[in-house]
Structure 1
Amino acid sequence: MSTVTLTIGPKSYPVACADGEEAHIEALGAMIAEKYALLGAARAPLEAQNLLFAALFLADELAEARKGKPGKAKTSPEGSAEADCLRAEIARLEAELVAARQAPPPPPTPQADLFGGAAPSAALAERLEALAEQAEATAAALEGLG
């Protein structure tokens, strides 16, 4: 059995834990201390109330994570794999977008725009728009994991 001392707010708390679990307990204590610090000047007069509010912040993040909603909760190893997949998808879509932009322009069509130039192919414009929307949606999903 080991003992770790956690400092949360102005107080320190000794916590018993199994050997080898010290770093994990310290990391959990740091999370609580971070949420405690969010109270700022709104701290309650009783320390137990302040710790309760810090615990409520953490419980809220946990509830959001369990619902599957992106929030500020840290990702699990599965979340890291999902983030890697999303990053790879973003890279693929960005490469496809670059290739589409570098492709030779389509042959001119008889239709002209308001300024007298040839109008771009509607199919190309729609494809580029679809690629841009996919990239934005994937980036938003990735940001939600962070």
Structure 2
Amino acid sequence: MSQVTLNIGGRNYTVSCGDGEEAHVRDLGRLIDDKVKAVTGGRPTPEAQSLLFAALMLADQVHETSSPENDSEEMADALERVANSLERCAQGLESGRPAS
């Protein structure tokens, strides 16, 4: 397991990821940071609220890109993985420890 530090909304978060996935996780972190900046407009916003809105925007993008041709079971699995990741992140934020 590797650890990557992401800067999201002006704060650093250390997350664990599989070996070789570091660049991908950094790219995802930049995407989330862009969404946080978009929803906050640079205004001070509670951290959990900012991350929630960013997650909702990303989930909406996933939803919009889905089409009837996509296998609904595959989409449900992907959304479940996203939900589990968000839950781990939220737990890490609440406990003050890195998400894994």
- TM superposition score category, shorter chain reference: 0.5 to 0.7
State the partner residue of 2:75: none
Where do 5+ consecutive residues of structure 2 fail to align?
69-100
Q: Distance in 1 between matches of 2:63 and 2:11?
A: 28
Aligned length: 67
SS in 2 for 1:3: strand
Q: After the TM superposition, which segments of 4 or more aligned residues of structure 1 sit over 4 Å from their partners?
A: none
**Over aligned residues, Cα RMSD in angstroms?**
1.5
* Structure 2 residue aligned with 1:4: 4
SS of 1:13's equivalent in the other structure is: strand
Q: TM-score, normalised by structure 2?
A: 0.62
Paired AA for residue 2 in structure 1: S
Higher strand share: 2
Aligned to 1:34: 34
Secondary structure of residue in 2 paired with 1:15: strand
Q: Identity over aligned residues, as a percent? A: 51
The 5 Å alignment of 1:1-146 reads 1-39=1-39, 40-41=41-42, 44=45, 46-67=46-67
Deviations 1:84-124 (A, max 9, x none): xxxxxxxxxxxxxxxxxxxxxxxxxxxxxxxxxxxxxxxxx
Stretches of structure 1 lacking an aligned partner (at least 5 in a row): 69-146
The TM-score, its normalising length taken from structure 1, stands at: 0.43
Deviations 1:21-49 (A, max 9, x none): 001101111110110110204553x2000
CA distance in 2, matches of 1:17, 1:59: 21
**Bigger Rg, which one:** 1
Q: C-alpha distance in 1, partners of 2:17/2:59?
A: 22
CA distance in 2, matches of 1:12, 1:23: 16
With over 3 angstroms needed to count, the CA separation of the structure-2 counterparts of 1:41 and 1:24, relative to structure 1, is closer
CA deviations 1:39-87 (Å, max 9, x no partner) are 204553x20000000111101100000137xxxxxxxxxxxxxxxxxxx
Displacement of 1:10 after TM fit? 1.5
